[in-house]
Amino acid sequence: MTYAEQLDIIKAIPVREGESKVIQCPFCYGLKKLALSKFDGKIMWNCYRASCNGKGIYSGKRSAEAVKNYLEDSVGVRRPKYRSMPTVTASVYNHIECLNFLELCNSLDAYERGYIQVKYAPAEDRVLFYTGTGAVGRLLSGSGPKWISYGELPTGVHVGVGSTAVLVEDVPSACSVSRIDGMVGVALLGTTITAGIKSTLSEYDNCYLILDKDASVKSLKQSKSISRSIKVRFTSEDLKYLTTDKIQDLMHIS
C-alpha cells in the first residue's frame, strides 16, 4: 500500500492532539499492532508487525490546541532533541553475536513471530529494537552506554498480542513476556510510567507492573496513582531470562 493510500486511512481515524494509542492495524488487521500518535499537528503511525509496511509521518496544520501547546512550550523550554536512527543496518541472521543475544534473553521468538522488528547496526555494534517512530539499541561489545534510544518513543515499546499488558523495564523483558499467549510486554524504557504509556493502557483488559524487589516506594505510589487496577508484582529475578512458567508463577497465574 502506498503512503498516500495509508494516509487517507490514517486521516479517518480520530486522534486528539497530544494523544498516543495502540489500535488494530487497518493495513494488516493485526490486533493492537499499530502505534498512532499526534503531537504538534504531526501524525505518526507504525505497525509493530515486521511483515506489514504500515508506517509514516504526516505534518499537517496545527490545531488551535497544538498552537497553544507550541506557544506555551516555546517560552523558556528547550524542546527535546532526538538521536537519529542508524542509516546502515543488517539482518540479525547475518550476525551470530546478535542472534546469540536474542536467544539468550528470550527475544528471538518475538522477532520470528513478527511481534517486533529487530536489526543489527554494525557501526554501533548494537541490536536495534524498532517501534513506532523510534528504536532502542543494546550494545553488544565495547565501551559506551548499554542502551541508547533513537527517534521518538512516546508510548514505550509494546511486544506481543493479547488483552493483558505486563509493564516491564526493558525491551528484552517485554519480548520474554510476549511468549505467553494473550500477553503483551510493555517496555517502560526505564522505571517511569509516562503519560504516553499511560494513554495506551486503556487498550488492555488487565494490566500488571513487575518491579524489582528493591523498587522504591515512589515507584509503587506512581503505579497506584495511575490506576488502582494495576496489579503489582515484585521479583528479584530478571524476566528476560525466565521461562514462561516461571513468569506466570511470578504473576500468580496458573
Q: What is the pLDDT of residues 217-229, one digit of tens each?
A: 555 666 666 666 7
CA neighbor of 120 nearest in space, from 147, 93, 153? 93
Residues 6+ apart with CB under 8 A from 213: 234, 235, 236
Alpha-helical regions (H) of the chain: 3-11, 64-74, 96-104, 108-112, 171-177, 195-198, 217-226, 244-250
- Give me the mean pLDDT over the 7-14 stretch: 90
Residues 6+ apart with CB under 8 A from 225: none
- Domain for residue 231, yes or no? yes
Provide the CATH number for the domain around residue 245. Answer: 3.40.1360
Same domain, 196 and 118: yes
Q: What is the pLDDT of residue 89?
A: 94
- Name residue 231's beta-bridge partners: 208
Residues 27-66 have pLDDT tens digits of 988 887 888 888 777 888 888 787 888 888 888 765 555 5
Residues 134, 116: Cα–Cα separation, whole Å: 12
The cell for 230 is 494495576
Same domain, 106 and 152: yes
Q: What is the pLDDT of residue 171?
A: 96
Provide the CATH number for the domain around residue 61. Answer: 2.20.25
Indicate yes or no: pTM above 0.85: no
Same domain, 53 and 122: no
The count of residues in the chain is: 254
- Domain for residue 18, yes or no? yes
- Domain for residue 114, yes or no? yes
- Tell me if 162 sits within 8 A of 33, measured CB to CB: no
The last residue of one of the domains, among 14, 47, 74, is: 74
Structural domain including 125 reads: 92-250
Same domain, 27 and 118: no
Same domain, 37 and 110: no
- Domain for residue 203, yes or no? yes
- Domain for residue 81, yes or no? no
The last residue of one of the domains, among 20, 41, 74, is: 74
User: Is 74's pLDDT higher than 50?
Assistant: no
Q: At which residue does the C-alpha cell 494523544 appear? A: 19
- Domain for residue 79, yes or no? no
- Domain for residue 15, yes or no? yes
User: Is 157's pLDDT higher than 90?
Assistant: yes
Q: What is the pLDDT of residue 18?
A: 74
Q: Which of 154-158, 213-217, 226-230 is most confident?
A: 154-158
Residues 6+ apart with CB under 8 A from 116: 48, 50, 107, 110, 129, 130, 131, 157, 159, 171, 175
- Domain for residue 216, yes or no? yes
